Amino acid sequence: MARIRDVWINWFEGEENGYNVCPFHEWSGEDRIEVLDYAEVIRVTERLFDYIENRLEDLPEELLKAVFQRSTLRKNMARITLDYCFIMYDGKRVMAVDTIGYKTPIRKSRLTPKHERLAAELADDEQEEVFDLHEPVPPKEYHILSPHPKYMTGLTRKERQLKQLLFMALDQLYTSGVTAELRYWFTEWNPGDYESIQFVEHPDLWQRLYSELKEGWSDSHYDLCKKMVKGQPFFEKIWSMHHGEEVK
């Protein structure tokens, strides 16, 4: 197997959807960039790449054995050996993965364009084993707290973060089951439908609001999100983390 040196890494931890593992052009100055002193590069099939990128489930045992303690992290002047860390390549895409000692892909990172090219070139030059899944995998189930990629496509990092926050607030609204509150927020979103929703009950009204909110991102989405999180400390904290300012 091929190995690559001095790889910049920006770990996104606990992400089950690949769209939340930001590409290099979305990295920010607040991200903590680390350097892999050595990293093992492995070839995987497209379906295994999809499985690792978009799930938090156990990796194939033969993959874990192949990469065991083959990658090291540089920290200050020391090198730290990582149990199960590797860079995977499926012929088109590249991603770094670290299980932090477990069997699931807890941390994931895109690479810089330079290191993506280098990892791909090294893997293409090696006549190495291609790792794959041996068992059928059921289709992934998406829901409001884990939105389908089609609802996140084309959005910026900040827009994706705020949209997920909006969905969290909307999910809380469903749980509360208060129809009057739901009518209020629907009117905030679409004042022109005020009359038509007066006789629509929960959960049909909630489903209608969700159906209108799930597509794309706009100034109206932004304004509604800001209004819904205001006065809720937990949501306000998430807002300030992603937006860089307090809710006003």
Indicate if 124 and 159 belong to the same structural domain.
no
Residues 67 and 170 reside in one and the same domain: no
Proportion of the chain above pLDDT 70, given as a percent? 99
The pLDDT, as a whole number, for residue 168 is 97
On whether both 177 and 77 belong to a single domain, the answer is: no
How many domains would you assign to the chain? 2
**93 lies in a domain?**
yes
Rounded Cα distance, 235 and 216, in Å: 21
Give the end of a domain, one of 131, 157, 183: 131
Q: Is residue 111 packed enough to be buried (19+ CB in 10 Å), middle (13-18) or exposed (0-12)?
A: buried
Kindly state whether residues 82 and 9 are assigned to the same domain. Answer: yes
Shared domain for 31 and 109, answered yes or no, is yes
- Examine residue 176 and state whether it is found in any structural domain, yes or no: yes
Q: What value does the mean pLDDT take over residues 179-205?
A: 92
Instruction: With respect to residue 82, please indicate whether it lies within any of the assigned structural domains.
Output: yes
pLDDT of residue 244: 65
Q: Is residue 142, in this structure, part of any structural domain at all?
A: no
Range of the domain at 239: 149-243
Looking at the predicted structure, is the pLDDT value of residue 119 above 70?
yes
User: Strand, coil or helix: what is 4?
Assistant: strand
pLDDT of 37: 95
Where does a domain end: 84, 100, 131? 131
Q: Lowest-pLDDT range, 17-21, 121-125, 150-154?
A: 121-125
The predicted model scores a pTM of: 0.92
CA 222 to centroid of chain Cα atoms: 20
